[in-house]
Amino acid sequence: MKVTVCELPDATRSFDSQWSALVRHAGESGAQIVLLPDMPFFRWLAAGRGFDAALWMAAVRAHEEWEQRLADLAPAAVLASRPVDFGNDRYDEGYVWDRDQGFRSAHAKSSLPDEEHAWEGSWYHSAAPEFTPIEAQSASVGFLMGTELWREDEAHRFRGEHVDLLACPRSGGTIAPADWLNQGRGMCRLARAYGLASNRSGSFGGQGWIISPEGEILGTTSAHRPFLTLDIPLSRKELRRYDPEVSGPPLDPLDSGVPPYP
């Protein structure tokens, strides 16, 4: 399966040209899955601490408008996140989009930092920790959004559910790029899955990555190479049988009893 990760600017004037370049890259490389950064179609809201209702609504509208252009990346399936309203609450929702089924929600982010440059807890709400895998192009995908990459319990659960891909859309933060990458390697080994991450570029640190289930770095993006596509083998029958290192039989992803949002 050909998978693409990227780093994109923070919705600045250069975003349109970089989007067009990503579309060309995905088409020329035959990408089947494209992972975008965390809430990519508006400037990073959580850079400022104070919640602004008008700015939030502008971000929601911007994503609704830009998401009409996800078809530019077809026939690839797109993994990303977006700001959504759910009743009186606000969430950062991970999703899968493809040409045949449209949008399908994966889960809303549950681990929210609230610190300098990452005031996520001040901007939206923490969802119930629902980490159910979702299918994209016949691959089983588990989302670990941003700092959820430190949820080792969920990586262990994903291992029991035989997830193929760990998808990490992110937007920088105060954690050093090397620490993000090392954590990604460890989580891939723990989940026994390929890891994909895409990030905002520039001051946000960039460095999208593709990591093997053994924790090997297969490739990273950079300012000079903002897009990366690799062909990874997902026919891993030896990893899909019962794993004695996981306590209990494989888990039923539909038997969580937890709604997508609280």
- Tokens 């593709």 locate to 210
113 Cβ contact partners less than 8 Å away, ≥ 6 residues apart: 120, 121, 146, 147, 173
Coil, strand or helix at 168: strand
DSSP code, position 111: -
> What is the full per-residue pLDDT of the chain (262 aa) written as tens digits?
999 999 999 987 899 999 999 999 999 999 999 999 999 999 999 999 889 999 999 999 999 999 999 999 999 999 999 999 999 999 999 999 999 999 999 999 999 999 888 999 999 999 988 899 999 999 999 999 999 999 999 999 999 999 999 999 999 878 899 999 999 999 999 999 999 999 999 999 999 999 999 999 999 999 999 999 999 998 654 344 334 444 344 433 333 334 444 5
Where do the domains of the chain lie, and which CATH numbers do they carry?
2-235 (3.60.110.10)
Cα distances from 260 to residues 105, 108, 237, in angstroms, run: 8, 7, 30
Q: Are 163 and 234 in contact (CB under 8 A)?
A: no
User: Hey, what are 126's tokens?
Assistant: 């923490």
Q: Distance (Å, rounded) from C-alpha 127 to C-alpha 112?
A: 9
